[in-house]
A and B are shown apart, each in its own frame.
Chain A
Amino acid sequence: MRVRPIRIFVILVASLIPITLAAIFIFLTLYSWPAIQFNGVHFLFGRIWDLGNLYRNPVMVHGTSVPLGANYGILVFIVGTLATSFIALLLSLPISLLVAMFLAEGVQEQFRPALSLVVELLASVPSVVYGLWGYAVLIPFVEHFLGPALASVAGFIPFFSGPVSSGYGLLTASLVLAIMTVPIITSTVYSGLIRVPREIKEATFALGATRFEVVRKVMLPSVRKNVIGAVILGLGRALGETMAVLMVSGGALNYLPGTIYSPITTMAAFIVSQLDSALQDPTGMAVHSLAEIALVLLMIAVLVNIVARALTGGQGHVAYG
């Protein structure tokens, strides 16, 4: 049978996606190769990020030319990225589930489109607007109200004990990320919930379940895979979020957060704020190390997606047959 040109064309266009992903991976690996060789495994576990003395002559270390005293370690940024994303999901998941349940079952059918539109509009707000809002409103709020309140209530746990020195930090960044991920998780879970067949719900009602029991015991378990998929989507956004976090995180350097009020830095925010400094390194090792940070971030994102695939058994959505 003759292969139609349209088929070849479609295959070519469709294969652009895996090709692009592979190209990004390959580009990042090649571009950061000198740094990968110089830094080794110490890169992931080193607490100190030091560009070295850029105003003295570079030295030769293990055959590569680097600034004097250069030492690249990104443990602080890995911890910052994972901590903010994890806490953000911890905050947004219960809220999103409750909102989705409310939208699916708690409101009358005629109001649903309008209310779900409101939720989706939250997702379309540009992240830098969230960052600006966080900068102007959330930081003073956390410093003067939420932080001290949390410290007095949960202060017996070392992680939540004061002093709340400033509004910049892990708590504020996580709050901003939580607000940004709520609409994503809500709309995904909501679209799964409204697809649960009516027969299942009616059968459960017939057995004498209350409305909340129907949702909790039958509908939510049936959209378990949707929820996991939604969490992964939200996690993906949280991991890569740059500008909003940069404005509220506090730009910590060389120390790990001791409490939830500590300033932190995430990998994405760090790359942005450091790029022009890195360009001043005459040996170029700083820029290669920044590219290595990007590579690590990409690998974390891909790893998260692989775990999601494993948990959902290879299917993004449940197909009710």
Chain B
Amino acid sequence: MKKHSRNLLSKSAALSLSMVIGLVAWAGSANPAQAADQVTLLETGSTLLYPLFNLWVPDYTRANPGVRITTQGTGSGTGIAQAVSGVAQIGASDAYMSDQQMKQNPDIMNIPLAISAQTVNYNIPGLNRVHLRLNGPVLAGIYSGAIQYWDNAKIKALNEHLKLPHKKIIPVHRTDGSGDTFIFSQYLSFSTPSWNDSTGYGTTISWPAVQGGIGALGNPGMVQASQTNLYSIAYIGVSFHAQIESAGLGTAVLENRAGRFVLPTPRTVTAAAHELLSKTPTDERLSLIFAPGAESYPIINYEYAIVSKRQASPEVAAAMRKFMLWAIDLKGGNSAHYLNEVRFIPLPASVSELSRKQIAQIQ
């Protein structure tokens, strides 16, 4: 009896083992046939560009079934890092790479896909429907701890007709490597010499010590942190305007280089872009922050796709070129249908031409 059950046990073990091996072999052999037709692209990075990619990808992949694109919103720092390391084919970033990084990675290109903007938002009970007037030096004062209360003289001087509360300001910043931090800190640096000397700009900066200052992860985190903390101030990408509105946050009017206070409307963003587009170099690394011009909005930027000139295979390279050319096409990704939802503006023709030249180098 014992021998029989032992036999049975060993027989069933052998049977199940062979079934598992068979399954694995079948699964393994089935895939290569599929993989030959399907190209998978991974896009990761900027949370500011992420909503636009999520509008692009479903429509594009429906029209181009041979390609599958995965999107992630992880922050511009991650976008750059993973594009450089090769993990991601497209690294989305609001920040261009530094000279040193370009030297170290000569195969990497920064290709603008659209032009975006950033808003400064706050959560002050009673004042969220009003547009507070702020400028670079005041924001630098807030984020450096020099200006601690909302009714500080410098803020009152800009908003004489408003009753500001005597409450401590809670500055919210990004903890992750962030293109939004890059463009915000550039605005502070370009407008305030003391900030430029002490803190400077970057995707990560050493935020001055402000008691109670909060760090959040990603643009969604910024909205959440601002929403749950009264008297806070945060910098949030314009593609999150819907979340900002439903959270009930106020949006500031910012002072531009010409001394006028403006909101990020298509007119003001386009004005700023046009002032600087002639300065765009062939590698397209240019800051659009604090542009001259009476109508210009001060915080706008190129949204970059960080890509490598060398791709894993010709199929991947071809898929990438096709997708990116579609993305910058005024009838494709750069059409009003997509950009209006995120409040971006399309690339001007000359810049789009430079992007096309860079895209052609993807092999």
Q: Enumerate chain A interface residues (CB-CB to B < 8 A).
A: 47-51, 53-58, 69, 71, 135, 139-140, 143, 163, 165-168, 246, 250-255, 258, 262-263, 265, 273-274, 276-277, 279-280, 282
Contacts and interface: CB of A to CB of B under 8 A. Distances in A.
A166 B212 contact: yes
Interface of B: 74-75, 77-78, 80-82, 84-85, 98-101, 103-104, 168, 170, 173, 175-177, 200-217, 224-225, 228-229, 231-232
A253 B206 contact: yes
Contacts of B210: 255
B81 A280 contact: yes
Contacts of B77: 276-277, 279-280
A166 B231 CA distance: 10
Chain A interface, >50% SS class: loop
Contacts of B214: 166, 168, 250-252, 263
B177 A277 contact: yes
Given A139-B228, A165-B168, A280-B81, A57 B99 contact: yes
A258 B98 contact: no
Given A166-B214, A254-B209, A55 B204 contact: no
A216 B232 CA distance: 49
Given A253-B206, A262-B211, A276-B81, A53 B175 contact: no
A49 B199 CA distance: 12
Nearest to A273: B175
B100 A57 contact: yes
Contact of A277 (B104, B204, B216, B224): B204
A280 B200 CA distance: 16
B215 A252 contact: yes
A274 B78 CA distance: 10
B215 A250 contact: yes
Tell me which of A166, A280, A282 has the highest count of chain B C-beta atoms within 10 A of its own C-beta: A280
Given A49-B206, A53-B202, A251-B214, 12 more contacts: A54-B100, A55-B201, A57-B99, A57-B100, A135-B224, A166-B214, A166-B229, A166-B232, A251-B216, A273-B217, A274-B175, A277-B77
Contacts of B200: 53, 55, 69
A285 to B, nearest CB: 13
Nearest to B81: A279
B212 A51 contact: no
A166 B101 contact: no
Given A253-B207, A254-B209, A276 B75 contact: yes
Contacts of B168: 163, 165
A280 B74 CA distance: 14
A251 B202 contact: no
B229 A277 contact: no
A237 to B, nearest CB: 22
Given A255-B210, A279-B77, A280-B177, A274 B215 contact: no
A255 B211 contact: yes
Given A51-B204, A279-B77, A263 B100 contact: no
Given A139-B228, A163-B168, A254 B208 contact: yes
A165 B100 contact: no
B202 A276 contact: no
Given A55-B202, A255-B209, A273-B217, A166 B228 contact: yes
Contacts of B203: 54, 277, 280
A273 B176 contact: yes
9 closest cross-chain pairs (CB), A and B: A251-B215, A277-B177, A255-B209, A50-B206, A277-B204, A279-B81, A276-B78, A166-B229, A276-B77
